[in-house]
Amino acid sequence: MKILVTGGLGFIGSNFIRYLLNKYPNYEVINIDKVTYAGNPENLTDIEGNPNYSFVKGDICNQELIDKIVKSVDGIIHFAAESHVDRSIENSSDFIKTNVEGTRILLDAALKHGKKRFHHISTDEVYGSLGDKGKFNEETPYSPRSPYSASKAASDHLVNAYYETHGLPITISNCSNNYGPYQFPEKLIPLFITNLIEKKKVPLMGNGENIRDWVHVLDHCEAIDLIYHQGKIGETYCLGGNCEKTNFEITKQILVNFSVGEEMIEPIPHRKGHDFRYAVDSTKIKNELGWEPKYDFEKGMKETIEWYNNNETWWKKLKHNKNDRIKKEEIKMKGVILAGGFGTRLNPCTKVTNKHLLPIYNKPMIYYPLMTLVNAGIKDIMIVSGQGHSGHFLNLLDSGKELGVRLHYEVQEGAGGIAEALSLAERFAGKDPITVILGDNIFECNIKKYVDDFNSQGESARIFLKEVSLEDAKRFGIATVEKDKVTYVEEKPTNPKSNLAMVGLYMFDSKVFDFIRTLKRSERGELELTDAIGCYLKNDNLYYDKISGFWSDAGTFESLFKTSCFVKNKLEKDNLSH
């Protein structure tokens, strides 16, 4: 059984993947996650070596990518969602895009590829707010009261519609509030726990009179397992912990575990549309599937507090990421391969595939820049491809696990230039430096020394130069060097001032993305990377190295042939020497 789990780096999703692989060791799990603020790769570091687990960094709104993945799986368990109510009140656009449109794209793919089994994770918040009595159940009318819950309600209706209209085998679960390990520290329970660990007060809305029904995340995981394997197709199951607590009661229990009093409470105003009470009736799943919560709340809370006490490194990175500067020793180089473009010089071959998938001797072209990065010790690599091709790269390279790296994918829409393509890697790069390779550039040299030097260098950019003929210099970006300093750069000059071509290899700090935002489009309508390099030159932060050995810009049939011959001869020579 191969299952696609969406949003598997989040709180519930990561706990579920670990649960699933432990219970079903023969299952294969593909985890797709966009790695937003709440998606944390460190949630699953303990299973990265499991051969039955693979990770794809991607967006469920990327229809082409989803289509390729869903084709290969037996079923989908859909966690991925924007879920923080306060964030939805500030700006709801991401919630509508991910929670509604992303769900639609997954449903279409499941339908297209043989009506794949589809389980949709939802929330009790779609039902609105309760008074002092009663509980939500599967017959409760929907009455969402925040942009978040409205987007989840819409996705629930969409999932049901695909069952009623197309016969897609779906189930839905609406669960009450979860708690447990790996929960993002902006949520109530982990926020209060981590604040108290740091000797800070806890921000309680109003008098803490709002009531929630709490269930441990591992109880939730067991319920999803039962519904996916044994639930009735087309049905919804409500999941609750039968554990109603006011927020003040939760706060008191946490305070008691830290041996502090109510002086550590800091009252804050209620947010807009703050629902008074949620409570869920789990009778249906208990009667049909035999599920009921196993975790006692008091014991579960103590274990949760203990987990956060023992995992400060995990939550402090998340909680203080916005304010903390990245320390030098934490900086690590990431790699970006720019593999877009139309490859017009390689027509008609590029009418059917991306030029970076054409062969150079015995491997697709993309392998060579990829191995340049791998051999330099770079483990996190993004491939930016053009429209229509990202699925091809995914089929070929998958998550990168076989190469010992983590591959991420992004798609450039249209032909907006190399700098525009690079800008798509900004979130992936974060504050880390990046080595950028144009995907059709092949190098003989090992760049590890340059990577190590750059990591210790500080804020700057580094370009790599190779002497060419003045006629060939017209085809490349060129640089002039005087007294060991770059003094001038220009893109494809008509009358080159230098024969030093900038090869398709660059190293940048994170300022490159700020510079790209200031660029104006060239006469070709493109954002030129040479212009971004010029910004570093103006700030006296541009450095260079001259590379040795073979280099090819394999963008023509002649250069493809020349490069294939070089690779073939080198491999034969290496084999003879061994």
- b/e burial code for range 28-62 (CB count within 10 A of at least 16 → b): bbbbbbbbbebbbeebbeebeebeebbbbbbbbbb
Q: Is 148 a catalytic residue?
A: yes
Torsion over CA: 354, 356, 359, 364 (sign): negative
Q: Please identify which of the residues 33, 59, 82, 124 carries the catalytic annotation.
A: 124
Q: Please identify which of the residues 82, 125, 275, 553 carries the catalytic annotation.
A: 125
Q: Is 124 a catalytic residue?
A: yes
CA dist., res. 173 & res. 251, Å (int): 28
For 101-128, give the DSSP string: IIHHHHHHHHHHTT--EEEEEEEGGGG-
CB 187 within 8 A of CB 247: no
Task: Give the phi and the psi of residue 64 in degrees, each rounded to 5.
Answer: -65, -45
CA dist., res. 390 & res. 376, Å (int): 24
Q: Please identify which of the residues 28, 64, 82, 148 carries the catalytic annotation.
A: 148
Task: Give the phi and the psi of residue 470 in degrees, each rounded to 5.
Answer: -65, -30
Q: Nearest Cα to 16, choosing from 79, 99, 88?
A: 79
Q: Nearest Cα to 498, choosing from 530, 470, 465, 521?
A: 470
Q: What pairs with residue 410 in β-bridges? A: 384
Q: Is 46 a catalytic residue?
A: no
For 419-447, give the DSSP string: HHHHHTTHHHHTTS-EEEEETTEEE-S--
CA dist., res. 413 & res. 511, Å (int): 23
Where in the sequence numbering do the catalytic residues fall?
A: 124-125, 148
